Structure 1
């Protein structure tokens, strides 16, 4: 598979980037690399694998992000993920939550580059698909110029050549996971320097990137850009990714077209017993900034929750947006002729 997909990816986000969210995002971009939520290696090995790992074939390319620090268990989980059809296995070395720290994985592993290297070597040996790392630039009182390079160099020595770097430290003491997404300052230049000094590696930058203009600017320095919350809260921006980021000669996917593409998926899952709200919650920001966006959110939020809610709710929400857009156009025509 051509992994230029790394040129633009959508971050693994707990409670957000589930299989339904990924299918919506795929309706907007055919090229972006999609990531699962983080799944612990223990859950993969011992839990309900179909529930944790199952996804629809149209989501490719899609990566599985694992959390853990036991090389043998991670290797087994990685193999299970590959057998499920994932195109990449990624190790989380960046999540700052308390639960992750207590389990000795996530950002706290920035302090243990040799252990990360052992984990990555085990994953690499277990699967044929790419094995990658997603990390921070450091934690707590670490010097990022030392901690980032130490982690990357240790994993590179173990045969890993692709890294996603969230360009912030994680403060495991004193900041909440939410605060860790915003308060620690961004250091994009350090990530650029990593690429300059390790030119053979594939470097993807993450953190604080909110639109495609910024993504294009970062791509002057690194191979890839990963968007997180902005891609979730304003998914409509993904409709231009294939043209702007991948250079495809295709028309942008409009918000309305994305909904029409997503509706067969919704219908299929409704028939399988999935509640509408489990899917429609990922669409709430789709018409962000457009007339009717508030009505769209309200209808999906209020009418999409009751048991038995179906595609008619989505259609009513779409009609509300169309009416708001038509009203704006009518006002514009009236103003122009006045």
Structure 2
């Protein structure tokens, strides 16, 4: 109501609609009381960092995927004086055995099991169960960033890690930035049955209040209730599946530059032999107005990790996307051949950072 502050955990109507959406879309059995409305993913991670700092003696240690989402690492480092611990990922996602070998065990692990960012792996059920066993045995939390789970192109979506949690260890982080638009800046936490964590989150929110305007919360609640969001997701899946096919048609089959990360989500990875080649490709494309990111920028260990480029294909229209992809192919081939010339004339643009802080 006008003149009334928004509730600390968010509008009751929006929390109810998010809970219903997650039950239908992700198989997560949650109630409105489990939902905390946030101003996107970065705000959700910052809130959790402050809460973890409040319940942990000393400096909290949070395991992060390597390579992984750099903005999340920065948010963790800036909020709650958290120390991040890199853990390597394989073709499927985080290496759970490597995580379990860390001594002492981290207080939490942040993972992207539905679509590892940026390499694109999907954590198998057996590894998910092993991750939950690790969390239970070590008393740790698992922060599940459910990034891009709505856009699965190959294979049936696996259940959210939170839907398998029986020990109150998994916090689900979600956002409407990719589903709707990053301009919405609206996300959420799904808190587990963990009284200590809930109390800590509530204490932080009592001090900082909910950052999402009430009118925006009510608008998104109305969209969810009407079914408009579900219809939009269905239409977007078809559109993005078409753009994914364009990426495959243009960039597949380049020797020394295998294409990856396309089983889900809205971005692709072009692997390259080394970081120098990746830097050259990024620089040559940037000079022609095409923004892509070096895969090395996602490394949690400077100078380490796989080499390549990351490109997002959601924003440009088909014509501009096709032009930009043609340019990427020409530049990659020229770089691999050792050709220092630059003549792409693309006239198109890609997304440099397909993930935003939303």
The answer, yes or no, to whether TM exceeds 0.5 is: no
Bigger relative contact order, structure 1 or 2 (CA pairs below 8 A, ≥6 apart)? 2
More helix by share: 1
Query: Structure 1 length as normaliser, TM-score?
Result: 0.30
Query: Structure 2 length as normaliser, TM-score?
Result: 0.29
